[in-house]
């Protein structure tokens, strides 16, 4: 296996956790003829960076007890932080897969992986340390975020999520002229905050990017 | 820890959001020595609002540092009195602010006035339909002021915030192109209405077939460059999306930081004290007079700031909680129906009809700035409620809000929640869908209220505010009725597919709905059913005024911001013109 710096550039996740997530997020948003899936879009790297951030330890959440499960309407009540939810959730799901299928999650067929993910979502797997749907809910939320947020956060590589939707990223300052008249799809190369930070986007005199027509295949089909 | 006692000032204003900034400015204009307290920081708009960093959905939708930091203070919540209230551990249903400007820094710019009916909801319902129309446990009441009382102050606020729109009722004359159901306005909006977008046109054409009256949503995102009465300049909205929940790089979203706060710097007699969290209003030995406030600074030091006048103008929750922590007013008890403080907490209701097309695209990422085309035909009492079994209503709008890619993807009913088919469907319809949004009223009820939580405490060791709230049948019926009407409109636009959302069976604190929490320290003309009088003055402690959404006795369908702004202008005027000349209970 190729040993590159990027494979070790994880601040929180261990190698088996990375492999688990690469497999899981790819089932949630798979590669297809429309473009890359969540794995190639860097969603695992995105999740790792989120887990090392303030959010990964719920730094802005209320975290005093008593801890009571409550009703669904009362929202998140787990004493576990996202770091712990991923760590325990991955290990305990893998243990379930080994019991059920004799293999770790990443070694299962795609159909089996979907079966496990659906079971987590429906809470029909009993994980020892946390509700399965709590783990699944966080995994799906972060996958969607990592696929569609600005690439500055480590996911949405090559703006794959934005190309999929036809989302242009940072707005140009000419929308006011187009908004009332343009009924055809606005097909441009998406511009990210990362592009602008790295000097890859031409700017107008207001500091907004100048959008250029889409070039890459797969973009703007909408 | 003993508090350090500071040199007295004339007036303190607690909270510097939409209402507080207006109160600070008005009081500073009198020459009095005024201190404005803010628990959050003063944003530096040039850097905090810089391009391209404000065009960041993840940050502003999920991890924003301009919102209340729950690690220090939150609320607890339960649907029913029989349940155990638990802390709101992460933000969801609503997003209170924590910065100078408060929640108004990230508001959506919808600047509708309330309807004249809203201010007299109970008396007008009794008059038109009789007592049976109102649920037995509904505590909706009249405001103690009329729309006409507030009209000059709506006008004042609209000019301060550069609201764009087209009058529908100018001095009693119905004007073409405006909202014919609005209360009479004394002059036109200071800025023109936003233009009609493609979806606005589709909606307009459809509703006209039913005889409804489409009009442009009043918006406080500048429809042209604008200079307000304080000579502060606001730029024109470019419709770049990243709007609701976000700050604006263009300075086009009117908010306290660009309409009022810079003008405060012109008053040497005014001091803005940030990172200063007021924890109590101090009373004298009679309990009838406030002598100042106690606050904790960023280092954790406790100070006592004496003052002759205390204006509470924090978010709804903190206005109510500070009164409770200070022993001002009598706590409402739903069992006996006694007390007023915490009574009539309410919210707003929502519904939606989503339209999916094969042959149309909308470029939904363009927009924001409150752009939308609406009808008021089902708002307030603008339609006959006889036999419907509910009161109140909603407006219905086709909004061009700037669809962000994480949260604004819509898929038709029956689409899987993730996986290959979800991906294809979400990609297909992102550009081929829009919604008709219902923004509905919410009445007040005997069992929906605020008090102090017996268990959970904030970082200072003080009890959290406890919310007991659930949807009632009146609102469920109302939203269902108007969703059905909206579905008829949607069908007239001929979408390939449709989906709809009515009110959920129970209110949940999880999904974002609106930062439109109101009540708990409501205004009125009777101390038995209100905490403050019609000038927002505490009945119990006359040198305390409580300004904000906390004063609404129940909620209109329309967003609260313009009315909070108008009430602040109204209260400030009463303080300046009457109270300061002769301190005492205003009548």
DSSP result, B153-188: HHHHHHHHTT-B---SEETTEE-TTS-TTSPPBSS-
The verdict on B421 touching A (C-beta cutoff 8 Å) is no
> Which residues of B are the active-site residues?
516
The chain A residue lying nearest B507, using CA atoms, is A73
Chain B partners of A172 at a C-beta cutoff of 8 Å?
A: 240
Position A25 scores a pLDDT of 98
Nearest to B507 among A73, A76, A77 (CB): A73
Chain A partners of B371 at a C-beta cutoff of 8 Å?
A: 179
What is the residue whose two structure tokens read 């004042």? Answer: B156
Q: In terms of Cα–Cα distance, which of B350, B444, B432 is closest to B395?
A: B350
Chain A nearest CA to B50, separation (Å): 9
Coil, strand or helix at B396: strand
Write out pLDDT tens, residues A149-204: 999 999 999 999 999 999 999 999 999 889 888 889 999 999 999 999 999 999 99
Position A222 scores a pLDDT of 42
The verdict on B96 touching A (C-beta cutoff 8 Å) is no
Answer whether the bond into residue B304 is a cis peptide, omega within 30°: no
Q: In terms of Cα–Cα distance, which of B324, B394, B322 is closest to B118?
A: B394
Chain B partners of A29 at a C-beta cutoff of 8 Å?
A: 418-419, 422-423
- Domains in chain A: boundaries: 5-161, 166-222
Position A5 scores a pLDDT of 46
Answer whether the bond into residue B52 is a cis peptide, omega within 30°: yes
Calpha distance B247→B48 (Å, rounded): 9
Calpha distance B506→B57 (Å, rounded): 29
Calpha distance B585→B583 (Å, rounded): 7
- B575 DSSP 8-state letter: I
Query: Is the Cβ pair B238, A173 closer than 8 Å?
Result: yes
Write out pLDDT tens, residues B16-29: 999 999 999 999 99
Tokens of B22: 């207006």
Query: Is the Cβ pair B55, A29 closer than 8 Å?
Result: no
Write out pLDDT tens, residues B263-284: 999 999 999 999 999 999 999 9
CA distances from B515 to B89, B97, B103, B346, B347 (A): 17, 9, 8, 12, 9
Calpha distance B465→B325 (Å, rounded): 10
Q: Apex CA A220: angle with CA A162 and CA B416, to 5°?
A: 60
Coil, strand or helix at A46: helix
Note whether residue B25 is domain-resident: yes
Calpha distance B148→B120 (Å, rounded): 12
What is the residue whose two structure tokens read 């898929």? Answer: B411
Chain A nearest CA to B384, separation (Å): 34
Calpha distance A50→A83 (Å, rounded): 9
Note whether residue B77 is domain-resident: no
Calpha distance B324→B342 (Å, rounded): 9
What CATH code is carried by the domain that includes residue B146?
Answer: 3.50.50.60
Note whether residue B367 is domain-resident: no
ipTM value, please give it: 0.95
Torsions phi, psi for B249 (to 5 deg): -70, -25
Nearest to A182 among B92, B363, B419 (CB): B363
Q: Which residues does B262 contact at the CB level (< 8 Å), separation at least 6? A: B230, B232
Coil, strand or helix at B272: strand
Write out pLDDT tens, residues B516-550: 999 999 999 999 999 999 999 999 999 999 999 99
Note whether residue B532 is domain-resident: yes
Note whether residue B119 is domain-resident: yes
Write down the mean pLDDT value for chain B.
Answer: 97
Cα atoms in the 13 Å half-sphere on the side-chain side of B197: 29
Query: Is the Cβ pair B366, A179 closer than 8 Å?
Result: yes
Calpha distance B545→B281 (Å, rounded): 12
For residue B127, give its domain range.
1-51+97-151+232-346+514-587
Q: Report, as an integer, the average pLDDT of B384-394.
A: 98
Burial class, B587, CB count within 10 angstroms (exposed 0-12 / middle 13-18 / buried 19+): exposed
Calpha distance B555→B504 (Å, rounded): 18
Chain A partners of B56 at a C-beta cutoff of 8 Å?
A: 149-150, 152, 193
Position B441 scores a pLDDT of 98
What is the residue whose two structure tokens read 């007890």? Answer: A65
DSSP result, B228-240: -TTS-EEPPP--B
Parallel/antiparallel/unpaired status of strands B349-356 and B9-14: unpaired
Interface test with B, best of A37, A53, A73 (most B CBs within 10 A): A73
Q: How many domains does chain B have?
A: 1
Calpha distance A75→B337 (Å, rounded): 29
Note whether residue B504 is domain-resident: no
Note whether residue B469 is domain-resident: no
Write out pLDDT tens, residues A7-33: 557 999 999 999 999 999 999 999 999
Write out pLDDT tens, residues A58-88: 999 999 999 999 999 999 999 999 999 999 9
The verdict on A208 touching B (C-beta cutoff 8 Å) is yes
DSSP result, B515-555: S--B-SS-B-S-TTT-SB-TTSBBSSSTTEEE-SGGG-SSB
What is the residue whose two structure tokens read 């550069």? Answer: B162
Write down the mean pLDDT value for chain A.
Answer: 93
Nearest to B71 among A62, A66, A145 (CB): A62
Write out pLDDT tens, residues B63-78: 999 999 999 999 999 9
Is residue A123 pLDDT above 70, yes or no?
A: yes
Q: Virtual CA dihedral for B381, B386, B388, B391, nearest 10 degrees? A: 30
C-beta neighbour count of A128 within 10 angstroms: 9
Q: Is the dihedral of CA B146, B227, B109, B107 positive or negative?
A: negative
Write out pLDDT tens, residues B242-255: 999 999 998 999 99
Chain A partners of B409 at a C-beta cutoff of 8 Å?
A: 165
Calpha distance B51→B34 (Å, rounded): 35
Chain A nearest CA to B522, separation (Å): 26
Percent of chain B with pLDDT strictly greater than 90? 98
Residues 325-354 of B with CB under 8 A from A: none
Note whether residue B174 is domain-resident: no
Q: In terms of Cα–Cα distance, which of B40, B430, B19, B67 is closest to B241?
A: B430
Give the A:B interface size as CB pairs under 8 Å.
Answer: 191
Tokens of B10: 């004339």
Chain A partners of B88 at a C-beta cutoff of 8 Å?
A: 62, 75
SS3 per residue for B324-385: HHHCCCCECECCCCECCECCCCECCEEEEEEEECCCCCCCCCCEEEEEEEEECCCCCCCCCC
Calpha distance B136→A204 (Å, rounded): 61
The verdict on A60 touching B (C-beta cutoff 8 Å) is yes
Position B185 scores a pLDDT of 98
């Amino acid at each position: 296996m190729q040993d590159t710096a990027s494979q070790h550039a994880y601040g929180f996740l261990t190698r088996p956790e990375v492999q688990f997530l690469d497999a899981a997020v790819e089932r949630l948003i798979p590669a297809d003829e429309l473009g890359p899936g969540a794995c190639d879009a860097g969603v695992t790297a995105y999740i790792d960076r989120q887990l090392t951030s303030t959010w990964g330890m719920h730094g802005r959440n209320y975290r005093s007890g008593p801890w009571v499960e409550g009703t669904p309407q009362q929202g998140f009540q787990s004493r576990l932080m996202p770091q712990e939810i991923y760590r325990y959730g991955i290990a305990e799901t893998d243990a379930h897969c080994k019991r059920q299928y004799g293999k770790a999650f990443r070694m299962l067929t795609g159909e089996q992986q979907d079966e496990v993910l659906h079971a987590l979502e429906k809470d029909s797997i009993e994980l020892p340390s946390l509700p399965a749907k709590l783990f699944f809910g966080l995994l799906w939320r972060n996958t969607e975020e990592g696929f569609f947020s600005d690439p500055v956060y480590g996911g949405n590589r090559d703006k794959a999520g934005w190309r999929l939707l036809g989302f242009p990223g940072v707005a140009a300052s000419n929308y006011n002229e187009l908004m009332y008249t343009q009924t055809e799809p606005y097909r441009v190369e998406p511009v990210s905050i990362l592009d602008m930070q790295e000097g890859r986007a031409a700017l107008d005199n207001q500091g907004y990017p100048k959008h250029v027509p889409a070039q890459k295949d797969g973009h703007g089909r909408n | 820890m003993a508090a350090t006692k500071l040199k007295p000032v004339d007036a303190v204003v607690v909270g510097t959001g939409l209402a507080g900034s207006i109160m600070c400015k008005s009081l500073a204009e009198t020459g009095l020595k005024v201190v404005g307290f803010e628990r959050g920081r003063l944003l530096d708009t040039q850097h905090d609002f810089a391009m391209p960093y404000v065009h960041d959905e993840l940050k502003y939708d999920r991890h924003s540092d301009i919102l209340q930091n729950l690690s220090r203070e939150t609320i607890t919540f339960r649907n029913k009195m029989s349940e155990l209230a638990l802390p709101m551990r992460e933000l969801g249903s609503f997003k209170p602010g924590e910065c100078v400007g408060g929640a108004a820094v990230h508001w959506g710019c919808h600047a509708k006035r309330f309807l004249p009916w809203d201010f007299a909801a109970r008396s007008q319902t009794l008059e038109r339909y009789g007592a049976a129309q109102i649920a037995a446990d509904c505590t909706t009441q009249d405001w103690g002021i009329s729309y006409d009382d507030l009209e000059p102050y709506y006008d004042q606020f609209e000019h301060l915030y550069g609201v764009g729109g087209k009058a529908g009722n100018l001095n009693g004359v119905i004007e073409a192109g405006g909202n014919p159901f609005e209360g009479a306005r004394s002059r036109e909006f200071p800025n023109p209405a936003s233009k009609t977008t493609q979806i606005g046109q589709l909606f307009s054409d459809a509703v006209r077939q039913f005889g409804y009256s489409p009009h442009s949503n009043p918006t406080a995102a500048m429809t042209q460059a604008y200079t307000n009465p304080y000579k502060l300049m606001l730029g024109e909205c470019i419709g770049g999306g990243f709007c609701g929940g976000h700050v604006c790089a263009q300075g086009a979203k009117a908010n306290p930081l660009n309409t009022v706060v810079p003008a405060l710097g012109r008053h040497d007699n005014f001091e803005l004290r940030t990172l200063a969290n007021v924890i109590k209003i101090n009373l004298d030995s009679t309990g009838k007079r406030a002598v100042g406030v106690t606050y904790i600074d960023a280092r954790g030091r406790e100070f006592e700031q004496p003052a002759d006048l205390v204006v509470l103008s924090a978010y709804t929750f903190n206005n109510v909680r500070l009164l409770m922590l200070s022993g001002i007013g009598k706590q409402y008890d739903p069992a006996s129906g006694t007390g007023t403080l915490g009574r009539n907490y309410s919210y707003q209701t929502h519904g939606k009809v989503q339209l999916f097309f094969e042959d149309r695209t909308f470029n939904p990422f363009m927009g924001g700035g409150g752009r939308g085309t609406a009808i008021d035909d089902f708002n307030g009492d603008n339609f006959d409620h006889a036999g419907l079994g509910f009161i109140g209503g909603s407006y219905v709008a086709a909004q061009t809000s700037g669809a962000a890619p994480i949260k604004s993807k819509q898929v038709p009913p029956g689409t899987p929640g993730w996986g290959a088919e979800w991906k294809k469907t979400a990609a297909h319809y992102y550009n081929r869908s829009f919604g008709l949004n219902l923004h509905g009223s919410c009445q007040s009820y005997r069992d929906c209220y605020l008090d102090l939580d017996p268990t959970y405490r904030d970082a200072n060791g003080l009890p959290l505010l406890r919310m007991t709230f659930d949807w009632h049948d009146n609102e469920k019926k109302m939203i269902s009725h108007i969703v059905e009407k909206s579905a008829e409109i949607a069908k007239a636009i001929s979408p390939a597919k449709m989906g709809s959302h009515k009110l959920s069976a129970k209110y949940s604190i999880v999904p974002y709905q609106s930062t439109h929490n109101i009540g708990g320290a409501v205004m009125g003309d009777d101390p038995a059913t209100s905490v403050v009088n019609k000038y927002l003055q505490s009945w119990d402690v006359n040198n305390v005024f409580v300004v904000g959404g906390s004063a609404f006795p129940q909620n209109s369908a329309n967003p609260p911001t313009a009315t909070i702004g108008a009430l602040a202008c109204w209260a400030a005027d009463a303080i300046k013109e009457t109270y300061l000349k002769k301190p005492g209970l205003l009548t």
